[in-house]
Structure 1
Amino acid sequence: MHCSFRPRRRVTPALAAAAALVGVVAHAAPAVAVPPPAPCPNDAVREQQGSTRLPDCRAYEQVSPVDKNGGTIAAGLTARAQPGAVAFWSTGAFAGAASNMSANYRAIRGEDGWVTSPLNPPTPGRNPVLMDQPYLVALSGDFSRALIATRYPVGPDDQGTGAGANAGYGDVLRTTGDGRFEWLTQPPTLPDTANKDADFGAATDDLGVVAFNSFKHLTVPFPKPDDATQQVYVRAGDTTRLVSVAPDGTLGPDDQPLPAGSPLPGGATVGSGANTSTSGSTVGGGSRNELSDDGSTVWFTSYRTTSNPQLYVRVDALGPDAETRRVSRSRVTGAAAGDGCTATVTFLAATADGSRAWFACPTRLTDDAASDGGVYVYDRDGDELRFIASTAGAGLLPSPIVADDAVDHLWFSSRTKLTDDAVAGGVNVYVLTGDDVRHVATVRDATLQPQMLALSPDGTRLAFESRGALDPRAGSHPQVYSLDFGAPEDGVVCVSCRPDGSDSEALADLHNAGLSAFVPPNRVPPSGAIDDDGRVFFTSADKLLPEDENGTADVYQYRDGELTLISSGKDPGGAVFAGASADGTDVFLITGERLAPQDTDNGVADIYTARVGGGFLAPTQPPVCGEDCQGPPPPGFLAPEPESGRFTGPGDLDDPVPPRAPTFAVGAIGKRQRAAWARRGRTTLVVRASHAGRVRATVGGRIGRRTVRVAAASRQLARGGRVRLTLRLSKRARAHLARHRALRVTVTVRHSRVRGAKRTTVTLRKPAPKTTKGGQR
């Protein structure tokens, strides 16, 4: 393992003050003797791969399938907080994908490897166009369900018509990953010819409750049929409810009270409109809890043509006593009932249970607030508003994290000196914990944006990209920095700067370090870039360590002042960071290099994980035997019967040479089994596979002048082993057998991770019914 340390610099008060102005305070531990590493339980696979230099007993595992149908992996979308699952995006369709568009996938780790499942809906109608691209906008915490936003027609009842590259209108679908999809933004009256968009807003962790924005009227009767604005809805189960209902007493454009239940004039959007199909609480981004974890509280912003946007909350949104409150109304003594925020209101975050929310408004809304407003916190249960801090000249960092119900960490920046150790006029980074504002650092870069930030799961640490040189070693190149609000004395730490103290010669970021082939479609940092211990994963195009030899982008880990190369540093095409689990067990990267022996697709980009204690040993070739030497016997299972019924196809398991790639074998369909199948109408097919994956069997039979499907079955294997598929003949096939007494069928079996199929053709014969002497059957 390569270890490099930065020398610790003594920070005097004068130096600290100067450093605060330029945002530079660099610390690292002094050099110490490094003991030899302890043996790893997976040393055999690490040696086989040549990955013994990786830290923490990590080894590479190929996550994406070898056969990608000519496609390449272009981006990692998100990693599950718990290890063993990741979502990614590819330019090709494979692994049983029902669509030929560039596709979204999820991969789950099994005992024998990773199993990939497609997430895109099918495209059975017209040819897709550019704007039909499906976006993976959310995944459930257990990765069992996904939300997809797309403009492609959902089905024959989706008849919105566009023109050219913008054909179709946006909708949100929910998939379980097994081919089933729910049209969440379906209007109550079909077909849908409204030619209006709907897009994703927020969802609960299990995706059971989903909030979205829609120009379509999704409830019947709609309170105001002539309303043409975007409104907010929530769907739970099979029920869709209007959320953006005007509070009682709201005045309409004619200054008359609106009827009860009316939609907000001018329209509305979930949160502040930041969570769309490409950002926000979507895959890769951090949730702001616009929707509470039980789905009962929804925060949204209105857009009125006669006044400024206001922040609202829908309380008990799923119940019969649902109520809308205007959160940003003025509580200043003597204020009129209609007074509120007179400029842009920005929803910042809410607690997971929906009991409190923070927002920014440059208007004095309470008696103790600054004249130019600032950050406020609203208490839902008490309907109370409190002023927190002024944000004059602020560049708010709208990526807050709620650690738990008791501790909230809201990061923001402001040029206002809110604490004694802040710098007036500087870009001060603060953390709001409860009602306490703490200064963390002052930086020079005022361009901190959500797509450049990552927060640790507990909200105590921030990693960010900066174009401004916050460390002398950065030179003119953007670099990655970290902050720890629990240790403000550490200041800003450049995690991607050269450890030898020399000037950087290339950029580093939390994305792709300039490799245009790997651009995440949601434009937010991959999840897991920084953990609770301050470990940071990033991509750098600079040579930070001697073993980095390819002169292009590579993936690094920074931990306690030490840099480690996670990718090989040898792929001429580079490697990029694609996400990590919350505990750092899995660190995902995309590369075209063969990092594991199982990867045989000749330089096509794959997604890998450098996994703690991971790796799968590749089978080794047996020694070459002479004439008097017998090789290892074939597996003693599923021996075929002498007659027809044996399956043939590539990659049989009963080869004497152990397979290098996934293989499977199918038990023969013997004479007795064929007779029982014809008599009972069903049979069981036994399949043994070497690896996890989905096993499918289809049966085609000639009935009349056509060959039609007469039976089908599929099962998912979590690991290698046996699986039984029950094949039941269709009603039409049974009728044909009863009439003609014979049916010739072809059985085709496929494994999702094996190219090609195995087939056998047999004849099912049903004996004629016995008759008595009197001719009775």
Structure 2
Amino acid sequence: MKRALTTALLAAGALAGAAAGLPAAAAGQPPAELRWELVSPLESRGFDWTRTRVGGSRDHVPLFSSGSDVNGVYPSTRTPDGWKVGYQSLTPPNGSQFVASDVEDLSDDASRAVVRASKPGAQVTDRLALGLPDGSWRIIGAGLSYVDRTPDARRLIVKDYVAMQDPDEVYPGLPGRETGVFVWEDDGTDDGVATAVGTDVPRILACGATVGDGIMHGFEQTGVSEDTRTVVLQSKSGACGQPSHVFLWRDGVTTDISAPDSGDGAATYVGSATDLSAVFFRTALALDPADANGAADVYRYDVATGTRTRLTGAATDAGETLGDAISSDDGGRLWFSTQGDDDLHTLWVATGDAAARAISTVRNTATFPFVPFPLVNTPDGPNTTAFPAQLTSDGATLVWPTRVEIDGAGGGAVGSDAGQLFRATADGDVDCISCFADGSPARQPVPGPPEGGLNRGNRVISDDGRWIYFQTTSALEPDDRNGVSDIYVWHDGVRSLLTPGEEGVSAELGGVTGAGDAIVLTDAILLPWIDDDHVKVYMARIGGGLPAPRDPREACEGDGCQGDPGPRVERPGDPTESFTGPGDEDDLAPPFPANPSMTVKRLSRAAQRKLVRGRAVTLAVRSNARGRVRATTRFKVGRRWVRSSSAARTFKRAGTVRLTVRLSRAARRQLVRRGALRIRIDVVHKQVAKPRRLAFVLKQQAPARRGANA
């Protein structure tokens, strides 16, 4: 199949439907395993979907809408018949005494939301709240920072980040302490039940504690077990004058894991296994008899045995200075960076108890924040919207953004605006995912979702490392022609353009599920039954595909009322469509041609003048393939294209059909008011890959002057 045709099929969504596949992964084409699914509603209904995120499940996606009437977060759930949106917002409604600022996290089924809200005029305006399925919501407390939750979001781990003793709802249901970590449980009452964590340790009782000390650690590693009954704590130092220690709290019992016996060296949390079987921390205290360098190292603490293993000695014993470090979710690998003499920066990986292995070394003459391996800090410092480095579950693959060129892998010049996305494996492979084929940098890719991502929703790589997504304005493939943001996918060593790359449309990456599905926000038309260009939320789902919804406005008869049977879709060139055998009686509908096509006759000037006068005109569409065809007319107001009218017909055989085109009253009012109106007519055929578009400008006719020819 020709590449141009394949990309057109993606743009039109003609391969969508019950088994709507993107073209096969070859020569820059998207992988065949992906199928587009519409996550947001087919009709806009006044909602303006501005962003989206990935929650704890690939079957539940939160949709963010703005606007005076429908501002909020609405959960969308996948069903066998398509994605269904619950129109009860999980955030405080407009007009209430609280104003929602963002959603911190959602339960795995997206029925509950941890919301950050504010109460204008209060002494402490910031509130943490829990949105419930029935539309109600509860204030958890003021001045609190969210950390983690159970899958159903009935138990939360929260911490306070400022010292407060305010009688105005500062701690409904929470102990009146200044600093600390709490387990908050929804017991059905308005306030819930809160329990302070780690207070059995005098150091924590006196100085307070936090979780992770606010460090941008590895993705999702909050130091909290799934049932929230085991928590990694880091004691505060500050006014207490005592160095911070790392503790493990489990069901009310707290153990100091970073400074056993009489040791009192400072320690900070690095990461932990998802099941809390291992905890990684950083300290200069010599917990290993062979540690004589006096420098900071990273240790892994085995929770079952209580043993500590130094993982960074191969580098620090050689005089290297430890930089950033992140650990894998299974606790089996640690990635870290070091800096040596002559501005040499090295990326390392430690697997199990084996000595760490150097993966890449770069000579960097720039100063912070431009560092080659920003595993924890983002490449631009604290004000960037780029994401920290991410690992696969087993730590075998690392992805990270940097503005520094990586030797042998490409990238941008030091300090340039072209931050790139790199990939490294524990086997030693390093490559630039977002660079051109020659290694030159792309223009400012945005590897991850923009700021405000959910606690579990800002990944760009799948759990197994086979799928990586990013967005960029650079045309890394010839079919990317729009000069604006598009989504690219890297799969098993092949990078391809995921979104159409057509003029007039752009796309934003909303996140990637652990399975490797991508959430995309775009005004592109990616499915054949969509006939408007309102911004919608799609999922490029591995092994997905859902039946096309039946338009309730269209009449049906007999089996036609049953909807698309799925799981099979009629694709152009499908060999079963060209089969003719005994008993075939359908002589009205010939087999699909190898290359389904259509042509649309342009509207004459006379026809355009009829539209100006408010009359209907006919649009002639010719095709060599049977199937449904729809023409949608839109007019432009400011930067928005507004739907004016739509008409549909069905080709029962090759030939010509005529569709009615007219201007709506709103369009005619705009024409009279402005004197000219930009019009476009999009024609979509279910079996033809590329839609056709007519574009022209209508001008209001000046009234004839009396006596002009007298």
TM-score of the pair, normalised by structure 1: 0.57
Residue of structure 1 equivalent to 2:105: 138
Give runs of aligned pairs for residues 366-515 of structure 1, distance below 5 A: 367-369=289-291, 370-390=293-313, 393-398=321-326, 400-403=327-330, 408-415=332-339, 426-436=344-354, 437-443=356-362, 445-448=372-375, 449=377, 451-470=387-406, 471-472=409-410, 474=412, 476=416, 477-485=418-426, 487-488=427-428, 490=429, 492-499=430-437, 501=438, 503-511=440-448
Q: Which amino acid aligns with 1:313?
A: F
Give runs of aligned pairs for residues 201-600 of structure 1, distance below 5 A: 201-214=147-160, 215=164, 229-236=178-185, 238=187, 239-247=193-201, 264-274=205-215, 286-304=219-237, 305-317=239-251, 322-329=252-259, 331=261, 337=262, 339-342=263-266, 345-365=267-287, 367-369=289-291, 370-390=293-313, 393-398=321-326, 400-403=327-330, 408-415=332-339, 426-436=344-354, 437-443=356-362, 445-448=372-375, 449=377, 451-470=387-406, 471-472=409-410, 474=412, 476=416, 477-485=418-426, 487-488=427-428, 490=429, 492-499=430-437, 501=438, 503-511=440-448, 520-521=452-453, 526-584=458-516, 586-600=517-531
TM-fit CA distance, 1:147: 2.2
RMSD between aligned alpha carbons? 4.2
Alpha-carbon distance in structure 2 between the residues aligned to 1:178 and 1:571: 42
Alpha-carbon distance in structure 1 between the residues aligned to 2:114 and 2:519: 22
TM-fit CA distance, 1:542: 1.0
- Alignment CA distance shift 1:310-1:511 (3 Å): same
Match of 2:537 among 607, 618, 629: 607
Moved more, 383-392 or 607-616: 383-392
Give runs of aligned pairs for residues 7-26 of structure 1, distance below 5 A: none
Does structure 1 retain, via aligned residues, the 8 Å contact 2:486–2:506? yes
Residue of structure 2 equivalent to 1:63: 39
TM-fit CA distance, 1:120: 2.5
Gaps of 5+ in 2: 188-192, 365-371, 379-386, 563-627, 631-710
- Alignment CA distance shift 1:462-1:315 (3 Å): same
TM-fit CA distance, 1:557: 1.2
| Secondary structure of 1:264's aligned partner | helix
Alpha-carbon distance in structure 2 between the residues aligned to 1:434 and 1:93: 54
TM-fit CA distance, 1:77: 1.9
Alpha-carbon distance in structure 1 between the residues aligned to 2:213 and 2:440: 41
TM-fit CA distance, 1:461: 0.9
Give runs of aligned pairs for residues 122-137 of structure 1, distance below 5 A: 122-123=92-93, 126=96, 132-137=99-104
Alpha-carbon distance in structure 1 between the residues aligned to 2:222 and 2:483: 42
Q: Which amino acid aligns with 1:409?
A: R
Alpha-carbon distance in structure 2 between the residues aligned to 1:634 and 1:385: 68
User: Does 2:548 correspond to 1:617?
Assistant: yes
User: Does 2:114 correspond to 1:147?
Assistant: yes
- Alignment CA distance shift 1:299-1:65 (3 Å): same
Gaps of 5+ in 1: 5-33, 95-99, 154-159, 186-195, 251-262, 332-336, 417-422, 513-517, 625-630, 638-657, 661-777
TM-fit CA distance, 1:207: 2.8
Does structure 1 retain, via aligned residues, the 8 Å contact 2:55–2:107? no
Alpha-carbon distance in structure 2 between the residues aligned to 1:623 and 1:65: 18
Q: Which amino acid aligns with 2:498?
A: I
Alpha-carbon distance in structure 1 between the residues aligned to 2:22 and 2:201: 65
Does structure 1 retain, via aligned residues, the 8 Å contact 2:19–2:545? no
TM-fit CA distance, 1:363: 4.0
| Secondary structure of 1:133's aligned partner | strand
Does structure 2 retain, via aligned residues, the 8 Å contact 1:119–1:146? no
Does structure 2 retain, via aligned residues, the 8 Å contact 1:69–1:93? no
Alpha-carbon distance in structure 2 between the residues aligned to 1:297 and 1:80: 20
Does structure 1 retain, via aligned residues, the 8 Å contact 2:16–2:527? no
Match of 1:84 among 38, 51, 59: 59
TM-fit CA distance, 1:107: 1.6
Residue of structure 2 equivalent to 1:72: 48
* Identity rate, percent: 22
Q: Which amino acid aligns with 1:375?
A: V
| Secondary structure of 2:206's aligned partner | coil
Residue of structure 2 equivalent to 1:181: 137
Deviations 1:725-744 (A, max 9, x none): xxxxxxxxxxxxxxxxxxxx
The structure that has the greater radius of gyration is: 1
| Secondary structure of 2:299's aligned partner | strand
- Alignment CA distance shift 1:46-1:220 (3 Å): closer
Residue of structure 1 equivalent to 2:693: none
Alpha-carbon distance in structure 2 between the residues aligned to 1:473 and 1:387: 33
| Secondary structure of 1:341's aligned partner | coil
Does structure 2 retain, via aligned residues, the 8 Å contact 1:394–1:415? yes
- Alignment CA distance shift 1:323-1:521 (3 Å): closer
Residue of structure 2 equivalent to 1:692: none
TM-fit CA distance, 1:354: 2.9
Alpha-carbon distance in structure 1 between the residues aligned to 2:349 and 2:436: 29
Does structure 2 retain, via aligned residues, the 8 Å contact 1:410–1:432? yes
Alpha-carbon distance in structure 2 between the residues aligned to 1:375 and 1:289: 17
Match of 2:82 among 94, 108, 113: 113
TM-score of the pair, normalised by structure 2: 0.62
Alpha-carbon distance in structure 2 between the residues aligned to 1:502 and 1:387: 36
Q: Which amino acid aligns with 1:85?
A: H
Kindly tell me the number of residue pairs found equivalent between the two proteins.
511
Alpha-carbon distance in structure 2 between the residues aligned to 1:441 and 1:460: 15
User: Does 2:121 correspond to 1:169?
Assistant: no
TM-fit CA distance, 1:127: 5.8
Q: Which amino acid aligns with 1:440?
A: I
Does structure 1 retain, via aligned residues, the 8 Å contact 2:39–2:76? yes
Alpha-carbon distance in structure 1 between the residues aligned to 2:544 and 2:324: 40
Does structure 2 retain, via aligned residues, the 8 Å contact 1:540–1:553? yes
Alpha-carbon distance in structure 1 between the residues aligned to 2:173 and 2:332: 40
Does structure 2 retain, via aligned residues, the 8 Å contact 1:481–1:493? yes
Deviations 1:482-535 (A, max 9, x none): 1111x21x2x21122223x374452323136xxxxx655569973353441433
TM-fit CA distance, 1:202: 2.1
| Secondary structure of 1:272's aligned partner | helix
Alpha-carbon distance in structure 2 between the residues aligned to 1:558 and 1:76: 21
Does structure 1 retain, via aligned residues, the 8 Å contact 2:107–2:113? yes
Does structure 1 retain, via aligned residues, the 8 Å contact 2:300–2:310? yes
- Alignment CA distance shift 1:393-1:314 (3 Å): closer
Does structure 2 retain, via aligned residues, the 8 Å contact 1:553–1:576? yes
TM-fit CA distance, 1:575: 1.0
| Secondary structure of 1:170's aligned partner | strand
Deviations 1:243-274 (A, max 9, x none): 131525x5xxxxxxxxxxxx622322123234
Does structure 2 retain, via aligned residues, the 8 Å contact 1:469–1:478? no
Does structure 1 retain, via aligned residues, the 8 Å contact 2:198–2:249? no
TM-fit CA distance, 1:379: 3.8
Does structure 2 retain, via aligned residues, the 8 Å contact 1:201–1:211? yes
Alpha-carbon distance in structure 1 between the residues aligned to 2:337 and 2:101: 34
Q: Which amino acid aligns with 1:87?
A: P
TM-fit CA distance, 1:564: 1.6
